[in-house]
């Protein structure tokens, strides 16, 4: 039995940062002739281009024939090895960055940072019909927002580029041709109709729908004649008889495949000449020096084809770690029907990058403790692939929101003001107020303690600026609302205190003893002193003075500190189109008190 075994890197903390961990390839007959890899042995096939002067700039240019030829020559000779941990995140630019992809990027980033290695971003854009540069730009922007800066890739450059698969066509073409020349691949002239017929026949016979090898051992002269005549053909990989591939996955343990029974001879390039996904990935992982592939478990089945290709080209396969999928709360695969699933959606909803990276890291990983909050540097220090679990992770939106609240409320004052000012300006709650204004300062101080999302600042401030006193009284009289209005009804009862406290409040306004809120530093202690003095004069303390005052000045039974609300009203005067200012509130209160006195 021919075979390949790729032992896991084990990812034990004792391994020195940046060291290339030992990996060996085995066959059924014993140890392969390929050398085992260690920090002292250069890794075969992990190439830098032979001519760095031709390296594409950060923006990326298509690989030239000369570059590809140099790379192929390097493959044949063993090349110039990269050492240390090199990981990659390989998004397809066909849409937004999904939280699952973001977690994969994060795990790769953490591993590279902890080991002092390289985090590579490689754009897999061979799906010409769906891939766009706009989507690529959005994905890269999301990675930067999360704080996941890459060492090599688009915009960053590097010496193993280009970093877009669409620009590496010459390399794929030459390596596919080399496999054909070595008898490890062959042209297949079967039409789609013929393949469909073979597939249906196999299914009817109860056989796996694999290619039956029609052109595997075709006469060389017949093949040459068809190629010369320009007949379209695909290039198929010749799976060696008896092939068995075994990997020691860092997350899933040992995984093995009988290659002949599982895949049969598979396609490397289509009849159009476009290489297929697995061929591109295998070539890119090898020629970019990727030491460890961390990706979602849905790619596990691709590993078989990729390892076979790597072996045929003379490369040592990387170590693998396939992390479990992220599920919705109904335990189905997380999708749009569960709500926001893309990083950009969460950003727009007011989530912070610190909270997102913290939460994503905990989806399938923990450090063995009960700890829940980590900064990015703390995650780098704690992360270890050996702590990634096989069990699927469930995305809990409530938990993420809670975690985001922890970060929002802990933000430095200047940063939080900048975020709330932007939110209020966008919603039209405040106009003409920047982050340095008194209005934003007082309003931010008012809402900070109740925020979970930055966007919560809008409804929180809107509520504080409203004054639904008459509506609350009407609802209490009708008995149409719930417990909150029952509280209003109790205050409006003859012994409830509303009328007495409201009358005292209006008298204080009239005689000038009610504290003005223009100067926040002066108002805060003055307000407390006034409430204490008024309560003492009325024989009321605690809830018996606070609740009637709150209803009289805010029109509500609950909410932020009443004194803070008064200071916000003073600060936003003229800048909040929807605000009910203090003068208007007092006018309404006078009307209500007078009407109740007449009806008494």
Asked if 530 and 508 count as a contact pair (C-beta separation under 8 A), the reply is: yes
Pairing of strands 393-394, 326-327: parallel
d(CA 151, CA 120): 6
d(CA 357, CA 479): 47
Q: What are phi and psi of 390, to 5 degrees?
A: -80, -25
Cβ-in-10-Å burial (0-12, 13-18, 19+) of 271 comes to: middle
Shortest CA distance to 185 belongs to which of 281, 268, 286? 268
Three-state DSSP state, 295? strand
From 333, 336, 390, 532, the catalytic residue:
336
The pair of three-digit structure tokens given for residue 131, joined into one six-digit string: 């891939």
Q: How many CA atoms lie within 13 A of 408 on its CB side?
A: 28
Which pair of tokens denotes residue 99? Answer: 């939280």
From residue 508, how far is each of 459, 501, 512, 513, 566 by CA, in Å? 31, 11, 6, 5, 15
Q: What is the DSSP string of 157-216?
A: B-TT---BGGG-HHHHHHHHHHHHHTTSEEEE---HHHHHHHHHHHHHTT-------TTT
336 is catalytic: yes
Token pair listed for 338: 């569960």
Q: Which residues are catalytic?
A: 336
């Amino acid at each position: 039995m021919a075979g390949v075994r790729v032992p896991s890197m084990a990812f034990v903390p004792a391994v020195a940062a940046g060291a290339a961990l030992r990996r060996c390839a085995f066959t059924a007959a014993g140890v392969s002739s390929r050398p085992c890899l260690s920090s002292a042995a250069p890794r075969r096939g992990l190439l830098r281009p032979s001519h760095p002067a031709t390296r594409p700039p950060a923006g990326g240019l298509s690989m030239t024939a000369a570059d590809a030829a140099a790379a192929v020559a390097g493959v044949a000779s063993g090349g110039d090895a990269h050492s240390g941990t090199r990981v990659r995140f390989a998004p397809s630019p066909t849409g937004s960055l999904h939280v699952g992809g973001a977690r994969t990027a994060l795990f790769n980033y953490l591993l590279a940072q902890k080991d002092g290695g390289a985090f590579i971003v490689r754009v897999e854009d061979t799906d010409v019909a769906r891939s766009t540069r706009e989507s690529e730009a959005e994905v890269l922007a999301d990675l930067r927002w999360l704080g996941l800066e890459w060492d090599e890739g688009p915009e960053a450059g590097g010496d193993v580029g280009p970093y877009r698969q669409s620009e590496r066509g010459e390399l794929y073409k030459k390596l596919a041709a080399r496999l054909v020349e070595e008898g490890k691949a062959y042209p297949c002239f079967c039409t789609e109709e013929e393949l469909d017929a073979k597939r249906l026949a196999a299914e009817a016979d109860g056989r796996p729908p694999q290619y039956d090898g029609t052109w595997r051992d075709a006469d060389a002269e017949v093949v040459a004649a068809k190629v010369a005549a320009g007949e379209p053909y695909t290039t198929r990989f010749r799976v060696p008889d008896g092939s068995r591939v075994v990997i020691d996955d860092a997350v899933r343990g040992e995984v093995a495949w009988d290659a002949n029974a599982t895949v049969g001879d598979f396609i490397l390039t289509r009849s159009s000449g476009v290489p297929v996904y697995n061929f591109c990935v295998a070539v890119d992982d090898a020629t970019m020096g990727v030491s460890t592939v961390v990706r979602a478990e849905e790619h596990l089945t691709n590993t078989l084809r990729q390892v076979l290709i790597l072996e045929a080209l003379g490369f040592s396969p990387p170590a693998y770690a396939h992390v479990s999928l992220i599920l919705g709360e109904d335990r189905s695969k997380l999708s749009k029907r569960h709500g926001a699933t893309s990083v950009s959606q969460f950003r727009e909803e007011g989530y912070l990058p610190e909270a997102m990276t913290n939460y994503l890291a905990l989806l399938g990983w923990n450090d063995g403790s009960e700890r829940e909050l980590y900064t990015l540097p703390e995650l780098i220090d704690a992360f270890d692939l050996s702590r990634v679990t096989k069990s699927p992770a469930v995305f809990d939106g409530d938990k993420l929101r809670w975690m985001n609240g922890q970060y929002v409320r802990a933000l430095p004052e200047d940063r939080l003001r900048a975020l709330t000012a932007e939110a209020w300006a966008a919603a039209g709650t405040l106009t003409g107020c920047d982050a340095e204004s008194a209005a934003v300062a007082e309003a931010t101080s008012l809402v900070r303690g109740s925020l979970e999302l930055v966007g919560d600042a809008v409804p929180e401030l809107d509520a504080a600026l409203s004054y639904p006193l008459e509506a609350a009284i009407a609802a209490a009289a009708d008995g149409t609302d719930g417990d909150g209005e029952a509280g209003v009804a109790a205050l409006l009862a003859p012994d409830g205190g509303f009328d007495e406290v409201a009358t005292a409040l209006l008298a204080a306004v009239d005689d000038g003893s009610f504290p003005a809120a223009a100067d926040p530093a002066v108002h805060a202690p003055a307000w407390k002193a006034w409430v204490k003095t008024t309560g003492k004069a009325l024989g009321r303390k605690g809830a018996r003075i606070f609740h009637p005052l709150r209803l009289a000045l805010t029109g509500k039974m609950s909410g932020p500190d009443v004194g803070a609300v008064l200071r916000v009203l003073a600060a936003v005067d003229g800048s909040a189109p929807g605000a009910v200012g203090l003068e208007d509130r007092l006018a309404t209160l006078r009307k209500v008190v007078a009407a109740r006195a007449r009806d008494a």
